[in-house]
Structure 1
Amino acid sequence: MACVRQRPNPVRWIWYALGGRLPARYRDWVLHDTTSKTWVWRHAARSTVLVGPLMLVWLLLPAPILLRLALVLMAALVGYFYSFVYMEEAAENRLAKHGFPRGTGKRVRAEAHAEEDELIRQRYIAQYRTPRE
């Protein structure tokens, strides 16, 4: 029998995106959210929930449009930069908040790509580490 992950409703998802803890029944979904093939895009969506309102406020300020657009661009660049720099740490913190041991996300993502990484390593060894005659 397949395990069915329960997804949070939109209000709970926004709470989760803002850093809140979901009830225990969403634990499997949180693991999936932070370790699936699309985990980087999911992180970007959560970051947009944090940065988006700030960009909207700056866009609505009473100022020349070029200044407002520059502020929005700066908010996006800085906000997304720091968000992606600390993406793995943020995922691990989310998992720890939901009862997983630290390092779970990194381990699960590594296990998912183990075969692909081994093929890449073998190609590297074959190309660059062969004995020269």
Structure 2
Amino acid sequence: MTRLAGDPGAWRRVRYALGFRLPAENRDWVRHDLTDAGWRGRMLFRHLAIMIPVCVGLGLLPAEWWIRVMVGMLALLASMFTVAVSADDLRRSRLRRHGLDQ
């Protein structure tokens, strides 16, 4: 697969996944990311990459092993459901944040 013009590096992708705005030089990549086929899957994958360390941290809290597993799973499933339900609004917000129209 070829890289798109304006494809951000690893550090910028992490910042983008955390919700920060990318510079204007990455605008074409952002447009592609949020409007091309598969944008929902990419959004869920980015959220998953953020939530896994959080869930691991929750799993390290002191409790019975099954409670730690269930708390992590609850956090993961609830947040994934929330992102899936509000994906259109999240996309619209990111497009506006980067100065793009739908």
List structure 1 segments (4+ residues) > 4 angstroms apart after TM superposition. Answer: none
Structure 2 regions of 5+ residues with no counterpart?
A: none
Q: CA RMSD in A?
A: 1.3
Q: Is the 8 A contact 1:14 1:49 kept in 2?
A: no
Does residue 1:40 correspond to 2:40, yes or no?
A: yes
Structure 1 regions of 5+ residues with no counterpart?
A: 105-133
Q: Is the 8 A contact 1:7 1:26 kept in 2?
A: yes
Letter in 2 for 1:12: R
Range 22-31 or range 43-52, more displaced = 43-52
Letter in 2 for 1:45: F
Shift of 1:13: 0.6
Equivalents in 2 of 1:94, 1:49: separation in Å? 18
Letter in 2 for 1:89: D
Secondary structure at the aligned position of 1:99 is classed as: coil
Q: Who is 1:74 aligned against?
A: 74
Shift of 1:25: 0.7
Equivalents in 1 of 2:75, 2:82: separation in Å? 11
Equivalents in 1 of 2:42, 2:5: separation in Å? 16
Number of equivalenced pairs:
99
Equivalents in 1 of 2:69, 2:49: separation in Å? 19
Q: Who is 2:10 aligned against?
A: 10
Equivalences for residues 87-98 of structure 1 within 5 A: 87-98=87-98
Report percent identity of matched pairs.
34
**Whose radius of gyration is greater, 1 or 2?**
1
Equivalents in 2 of 1:49, 1:16: separation in Å? 12
Equivalents in 1 of 2:85, 2:51: separation in Å? 15
Letter in 1 for 2:100: F
Equivalents in 2 of 1:52, 1:97: separation in Å? 26
Q: Who is 2:29 aligned against?
A: 29
Choose between structure 1 and 2 for higher RCO, CA contacts under 8 A separated by at least 6 residues: 2
Letter in 2 for 1:38: G
